[in-house]
Structure 1
Amino acid sequence: MKVDGHGQAKVLTPHEIGKLFKAFGSDRDRACLVICLYTGCRISEACSMLTTDAYDAAGVRMKITLRKANTKGKQETRQIPVNSVLRGYLEIYRSRAGKQYLFPRRHGREHINPKSADEILRETCDRLGLVGVSTHSFRRTALTQMSSAGIPLRVIQEISGHRSLQALQRYLEVSKLQLEGAIASLFCFGFMFFPFRN
């Protein structure tokens, strides 16, 4: 867990996510971090999105576009399907989206700075007493949840944009419950090969 800016960002529980999203002061802040959670993108990718990356004339797009120019390493453009939860948040936010940038600064010029998004999150976490949370928590939570749900790592890598599976695996957290479940699954082999005898 992250302590004083060191270590990995905390993977959030559903309860913590709910508390955070209720506590954010604006739909802009909420929508920005919801995009990170439901697409697994980095905060810099979310902050720099164009409005047309999320909306078209008919409403919320079927896929969010993360442009190559805004990705880490400027590797390639990614398109992430929009699920029903993300769609709901984006529909609520639509009337507040900027003309050019999805998440504009106060006076509509440029996009919100990722450092500003980080400060907003830190202030909210301080109020709620949440420790170890950073903007990267939303990305780590998304990727860990997909892994826990049994989504193949290669599919998660397509979503996350990591260059290698090795880089992706550093993001994924393994819970104590998962470890216990993995060991418990070996129990059946004992009966198959070494039956108990009286």
Structure 2
Amino acid sequence: MDLSVAAAAFATHLETVRRLSPATVRAYRSDLRDLVGSVGDGPLRDVDLESLRDWLWTATQRGDARSTLARRAAAARSFFAWAKDEELIPVDPSLRLVTPKRGRTLPTVASRDGMRALLDAQRMAAAGGDPVALRDHAILELLYATGMRVSELCGLDVDDLDQDRGTARVLGKGSKERVVPYGRPAHDAIAAWATRGRPVLSARASTAGPAVFLGSRGGRIGPRLVYTLVARTLGPVVGAENVGPHALRHSAATHLLDGGADLRAVQEILGHASLGTTQIYTHVSSERLAATYRLAHPRA
């Protein structure tokens, strides 16, 4: 079997058997496509450890980020382990493939005052009743209140929200479901959008869909719209042009920990499979604490 054919079969396996998210499957496809472009589309069993090392070396010379190299190495190991299990190859060539070490980079986090000013400005903009302004305010409030991923937000249906309890039922990575709480500001913003904004946009669609958040034509919103909204509103607050919805997730997690939330509770809210993933936010909080100490303590 040729490498490209095996890669396509592996992607189908990820979609139908392991039920990974579309974004994760796209990342695997991209990494394996890059591998095919590097080593050539020959027989799968001809790919050896040296071929894989040359592939990563080429990516290094090209200037790919360490995180990209680490992801591609992980994709190769997962792919060849599957191929060995399926008896497509006699030996797994990726067993001794070393993952490049990632450099530690702390996530972008907005200050509490910055988030308060941003959301207050959005609330004032929505007060005029414009349906798009109402929607945008509700999106930002909910992202910051829950720390949910952009894909989770876009996938929300009306029945997933319990306005009485102030909770949202979220379908996360690996089709894992969790329930996350949100506070009064998000509740009020969602209620205003549901009663004054959503009916206006839903009337523009031929059939009413179940999505909570709608685009200008009445259909379910996509991630690109949310990215554009966050870049426009949060970018000036954190001083970055390419900031995305994940920065609101980072900010929510950090502010929860700053406020005394338990690390495992934050893990549950964010839907992290591993506590180690959540611990990055303790580093952010520690840095903010150290910065405050240096500014305020006379012996700092």
**Both structures adopt the same fold (TM-score exceeding 0.5):** yes
DSSP 3-state at the match of 1:67: strand
- Partner of residue 93 from structure 1, selected from 183, 187, 193: 193
Normalised TM-score (structure 2): 0.50
Closer, same or farther in 2 for the Cα pair 1:123/1:149, shift >3 Å? closer
Equivalent residue number for residue 16 of structure 1: 114
- For residues 248 and 108 of structure 2, the distance between their equivalents in structure 1, rounded to whole angstroms, comes to 9
Say yes or no: does 1:65 pair with 2:179: no
Say yes or no: does 1:118 pair with 2:118: no
DSSP 3-state at the match of 1:121: helix
Closer, same or farther in 2 for the Cα pair 1:176/1:46, shift >3 Å? same
Equivalent residue number for residue 45 of structure 1: 152
- Partner of residue 36 from structure 1, selected from 133, 138, 143: 143
- For residues 16 and 180 of structure 1, the distance between their equivalents in structure 2, rounded to whole angstroms, comes to 17
Closer, same or farther in 2 for the Cα pair 1:113/1:18, shift >3 Å? same
**Larger of the two Rg values belongs to structure:** 2
Say yes or no: does 1:140 pair with 2:247: no
Closer, same or farther in 2 for the Cα pair 1:125/1:140, shift >3 Å? closer
Equivalent residue number for residue 131 of structure 1: 239
Closer, same or farther in 2 for the Cα pair 1:129/1:148, shift >3 Å? closer
Contact 2:168/2:179 (8 A) holds in 1:
yes
Gaps of 5+ in 2: 1-67, 69-104, 126-131, 203-207, 294-300
Give aligned pairs, total.
Answer: 169
